[in-house]
A and B are shown apart, each in its own frame.
Chain A
Amino acid sequence: MSKIHVTTTINGDTVEYLCSPTETLLDVLRDRLDLTGAKEGCSTGDCGACSVTLDGRLVSSCLVLAAEAEGHEIATIEGMAEGENLHILQTKILEHAALQCGVCTPGILVAAKALLEKNPDPSEEEVRFWLAGNLCRCTGYDKIIRAVLDAAAEMRGA
C-alpha cells in the first residue's frame, strides 16, 4: 500500500509523517509519533478516550483518518501542561481524586479544556452533557464534574 505524506501541526509544532490510507489519527499519534496520551478505548467513537482537538474542535481521533490531518492543527493532552506546570484542570482532577485507572483521564481533560474555552462558566448540567461522550468506568463521574466546575471557577478568578 502506498504511503501518504502528511504535514500538520501538533501542539504548535510542525510535524510530518507517512501513513497508510486506512490508519487513523489515533494510530499515528500513538504508534508513529509516540504521543500515547490519547488512548484507544473502543475505536468506534463511543468512549472519548482518544479525544483531541482538530482546528480547535473536539473530536475522537479514532474517527479521523491520519491523512485528513494535512494542513490542520491538532492539540493533544501532551500539549496541555506547560513544562512542569500542570493546567488548572489537571491540578483539579488530582485534588478531587477524579481518577482511578486513568485511561479516560487524558480524553476527559482535552474535552473539559475545549468546553471551558467555549464556555468559561458552564452549569453542572452543561458539563455533564458536554462530557457525555467520555466514558469512565471507575469514578462514577461525580468527582470529575466537581473538578471541572472547580477548575472553571478558578480560571474565571472566582
Chain B
Amino acid sequence: MRFESPATVEEATHLLANADGTTRVLAGGTDVLVQLRLGLVKPDLVVDIKNIEGMRSIVAEDGGYRIGAAVSGAEMGEHEGLVALWPGVVEAMELVGSTQVQGRATLAGNLCNASPAADSVPAMIAANAIATIEGPLGLRLLPVEEVPAGPGKTTLSKGEIITSIFLPARPKRSGDAYLRFIPRTEMDIAVASAGVSLSLDADGTIETARVAIGAVAPTALLVEEAGTALIGAGLDDKAVATMVAAVRAACNPISDKRGTAEFRTKTAGVMAKRAAEIAFARAGGTK
C-alpha cells in the first residue's frame, strides 16, 4: 500500500486517476481504517486529503455554508452559525460514533462510505445539500442524494473526490431535524431514520418541505410525496398521516438482527413524524 498526502486537489485527483488497483480517499479514516484492519479492503493507494488547502474549513457563502471535505463532526458541532442554520444536519452528524470518532469523521466520508444507514445522509438530502466533486475532467455539482449508488458504492468515477458539501441559505422561518431509531442510547447503527427540512410562510403554513429516510433501502431516499404532503397546512394530523403513509410506501428494507423489514418500515414512519414535529417547532410553527 502506498500512502500519499498531497497539498492540492489536482495532485490528489491525478494520483487517484492514474493509480492501478484499489484506491481509497482518506478523510477521517473512521471507515477506511476499520476496513483496513479487518482486511475488508487492501488498497494499493491511500490518498489523505486533510493537507489540501480549504478542506478543513467551514466558510459562509451566499447565506449558506460550504463545509470542506475534511471537516470533522466535532468541528461542525462547535460552529455556532452552522448549528443555528442547519441544526438537523449537525445533530445527524453528531450521532456518528463516539467522541473519538467525532474528532475525525466527516460528512463527505459518511456519504461516500455509502452505508444505507449513514446518519448524516438523510439530513443532508432533506437540506438540499450539494456535493462539489472534482476530478480529472474538472468540477461538477451533484445533489447529495445522487452520490450513493447502493451499499458501499457511489456514482463518483475514478479519480473524483468530493471537495466540499454546500448547505444552502434558507428562508427565515425554517427548521430541520434528524432522528434515528437504535436499540441503545449511543454508539449503534440506525435501524430506521428520517430527516425533515421545512419552511413556513408568515401565517405558519408549511411552504416547502423535504423528507428523506435512511436504513430502509439500499441508499438513503428522498421521498418527494412525503414532503409534498406536508405543504399547505400547519402540520395537522391529516397532512402528517399522508406524509407517514408516503414514507412507509417508499421503504424497501432488509430484515436482519437489528430489525425486520416490517419493523423498519413502521419505524421509519414514526421517525419521520417526530422529526417533522421537531423541524416545525424549530421553524417557529405552532399547532
Binding site for B on A (CB under 8 A): 1, 4, 21-22, 24, 43-46, 48, 51, 54, 57-60, 62-65, 67-68, 70, 111, 114-115, 129-134
Contacts and interface: CB of A to CB of B under 8 A. Distances in A.
Given A68-B48, A132-B185, 7 more contacts: A44-B38, A59-B103, A59-B104, A63-B30, A63-B101, A111-B99, A115-B99
B37 A60 contact: no
A60 B100 contact: yes
A65 B37 contact: no
Interface string B95-111: 00111110110000000
B38 A111 contact: no
Interface in B1-36: 1-3, 5, 26, 28-30, 33-34, 36
Contacts of A44: 34, 37-38
24 contacts: A24-B33, A43-B37, A44-B34, A44-B38, A45-B98, A45-B100, A51-B100, A57-B72, A57-B103, A58-B100, A58-B103, A59-B103, A59-B104, A63-B28, A63-B101, A65-B26, A65-B33, A65-B48, A68-B29, A68-B48, A68-B50, A129-B99, A133-B97, A133-B99
A54 B75 CA distance: 14
A36 B187 CA distance: 26
B119 to A, nearest CB: 15
Nearest to B98: A133
Contacts of A67: 3, 5, 48
A13 B185 CA distance: 39
A58 B48 CA distance: 19
A133 B33 contact: no
A67 B51 CA distance: 12
B42 to A, nearest CB: 9
Contacts of B5: 67-68, 70
A35 to B, nearest CB: 18
Consensus secondary structure, chain A interface: mixed
A65 B48 CA distance: 10
Contact of A45 (B46, B74, B97): B97
B33 A130 contact: no
A85 B98 CA distance: 30
B34 A132 contact: no
Interface in B45-59: 46, 48, 50
Contacts of B104: 57, 59, 63-64
A67 to B, nearest CB: 5
Contacts of A64: 29, 33, 104
B186 interface: yes
B1 A130 contact: no
Contacts of B98: 45, 48, 132-134
Contacts of B48: 65, 67-68
A27 B5 CA distance: 20
Nearest to B78: A118
A65 B3 contact: yes
Contacts of A62: 33, 37
B186 A129 contact: yes
Contacts of B2: 21
A130 B26 CA distance: 25
B29 A63 contact: yes
A21 B33 contact: no
B36 A59 contact: no
Given A4-B3, A57-B72, A133-B187, A45 B33 contact: yes
B35 to A, nearest CB: 10
B33 A111 contact: no
Contact of B101 (A22, A45, A114, A130): A45
A46 B187 contact: yes
B72 to A, nearest CB: 7
Contact of A57 (B3, B36, B38, B74): B74
A130 B186 CA distance: 10
A45 B103 contact: no
A132 B33 contact: no
B3 A21 contact: yes
Which residue, of A45, A63, A70, A111, has the highest number of chain B Cβ atoms within 10 A?
A: A63
